[in-house]
């Protein structure tokens, strides 16, 4: 496996095999598997779980890692092609990324959505521009519209908890003070579809996921025996749900227009997940969220601290699934 950029790049069986490897590494540690190997981590955006879990994953397998944060300790980096660099950025990704790739055996890059032009973000313009510069193994640490490591950890979480393959998986929008990227909802959607679940996207008017993301997930669902639909009605979505996967994202109707987005979301503070959301769900219904989450804004304390919440298991699972990715990618 040379690149881990998108769960959609893999067949269902390949994902299952990665998850099996993750479980094996949980039970049978391989503390020298990646001895001498180096992972470079580049963060254009903040990180807590991704940074710590990737450094830990390399260490657990006997390897090492380094961290570069452009603009904080390292140079501010330009990503646009062809620009006359007379502003704040001292370095261009065209120089910086290949140089970093030269110092490691695999590179991980985090680069959030620019959030201005939906077509450009859907095309992963910035991430792909960097990916095209290097031939080294590469891991997507969250790009404009993808977060495959989170999706893989979430899949393992569903398996760990024996959530039925055909169970109802509701991906619900939640309130946040401002527009957040589509990366996690897109990745979670695709994951649940590829797992073969009955996937329902619950979101207010104006926040429908882009057609390209929905279409791709629909194809994955069809191939895996699952299904996908969307609704704005909570009761319609949550009846019998096995999983409520909560995420905040920006209005797609007015993508890149922060004022229009603010107007739309100002009426939606009621989309803070509370206990009563689960009344008609399965008695076993789990609450999932990739974290970080704003308490009492997106999800109420009582829900996050309640028995339904499996957000800590999702966070923990970042470690074994990333160990599996690194093992498959770098084990000699």
State the angle between helix axes of 148-160 and 12-27 in degrees (0 to 180), rounded to the nearest 10: 70
- Any idea which residue has 């669902």 for tokens? 221
- Binding mask 104-143 toward its own copies (x if CB under 8 A, else -) reads x---------------------------------------
Complex with its own copies: residue 29 or 240, whichever CB lies closer: 29
104 closest CA partner among 162, 155, 151, 58: 58
Complex with its own copies: residue 78 or 142, whichever CB lies closer: 78
Per DSSP, helices labelled H in the chain are 12-27, 49-60, 93-102, 118-122, 125-131, 148-160, 183-195, 211-224, 234-238, 258-266, 301-304, 311-330
Q: How far is the CB of 287 from its own copies (least distance, A)?
A: 12
Residue 72 sits in the site that holds its own copies (CB under 8 A)? yes
Q: How far is the CB of 152 from its own copies (least distance, A)?
A: 16
Q: How far is the CB of 177 from its own copies (least distance, A)?
A: 5
Please return the burial class of 205, using the count of CB atoms within 10 Å of its CB with bins 0-12, 13-18 and 19+.
exposed
Residue 185 sits in the site that holds its own copies (CB under 8 A)? no
Query: Residue from 15, 25, 33, 53 that binds its own copies (CB under 8 A)?
Result: 53
Q: How far is the CB of 75 from its own copies (least distance, A)?
A: 5
Residue 306 sits in the site that holds its own copies (CB under 8 A)? no
- CA distances from residue 97 to 68, 94, 241 in whole angstroms, order as listed: 10, 6, 43
Which region among 63-71, 112-120, 188-196, 230-238 touches its own copies (by CB under 8 A)?
A: 63-71
Residue 78 sits in the site that holds its own copies (CB under 8 A)? yes
User: What is the C-alpha separation between 100 and 105, in angstroms, rounded?
Assistant: 10
For residue 171, the SS3 value is strand
CB 153 within 8 A of CB 314: yes
Q: Which residues of the chain form contacts with its own copies (CB under 8 A)?
A: 29, 31, 35-36, 38, 40, 43, 46-49, 51-53, 55-56, 59-60, 62, 64, 66, 68-70, 72-75, 78, 82-86, 89-92, 94-96, 98-100, 102-104, 177, 291-297, 301, 304-305, 311-312, 315-316, 318-319
């Amino acid at each position: 496996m040379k690149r881990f950029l998108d769960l959609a790049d893999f067949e269902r069986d390949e994902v299952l095999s990665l998850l099996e490897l993750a479980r094996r590494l949980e039970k049978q540690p391989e503390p020298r598997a990646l001895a001498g190997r180096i992972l470079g981590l580049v963060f254009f955006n903040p990180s807590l779980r991704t940074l710590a879990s990737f450094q830990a994953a390399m260490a657990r397998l006997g390897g090492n890692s380094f961290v570069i944060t452009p603009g904080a300790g390292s140079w501010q980096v330009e990503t646009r092609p062809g620009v006359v660099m007379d502003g704040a950025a001292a370095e261009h990704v065209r120089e910086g990324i290949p140089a970093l790739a030269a110092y490691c055996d695999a590179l991980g890059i985090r680069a959030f959505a620019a959030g201005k032009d939906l077509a450009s973000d859907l095309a992963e313009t910035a991430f792909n521009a960097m990916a095209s510069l290097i031939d080294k193994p590469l891991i997507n640490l969250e790009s404009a519209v993808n977060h495959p490591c989170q999706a893989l950890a979430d899949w393992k979480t569903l398996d760990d908890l024996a959530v039925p393959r055909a169970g109802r998986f509701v991906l619900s929008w939640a309130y946040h003070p401002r527009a957040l990227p589509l990366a996690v909802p897109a990745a979670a959607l695709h994951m649940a579809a590829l797992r073969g679940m009955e996937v329902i996207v619950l979101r207010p008017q104006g926040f429908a996921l882009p057609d390209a993301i929905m279409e791709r997930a629909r194809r994955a669902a069809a191939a895996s025996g699952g299904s996908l639909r969307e609704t704005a009605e909570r009761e319609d979505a949550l009846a019998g749900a096995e999983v409520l996967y909560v995420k905040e994202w920006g209005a797609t109707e007015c993508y890149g227009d922060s004022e229009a987005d603010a107007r739309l979301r100002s009426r939606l503070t009621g989309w803070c997940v509370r206990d009563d959301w689960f009344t008609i769900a399965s008695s076993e219904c789990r609450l999932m969220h990739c974290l970080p989450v704003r308490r009492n804004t997106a999800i109420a304390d009582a829900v996050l601290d309640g028995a339904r919440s499996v957000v800590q298991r999702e966070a923990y699972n970042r470690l074994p699934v990333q160990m599996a990715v690194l093992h498959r990618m770098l084990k000699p």
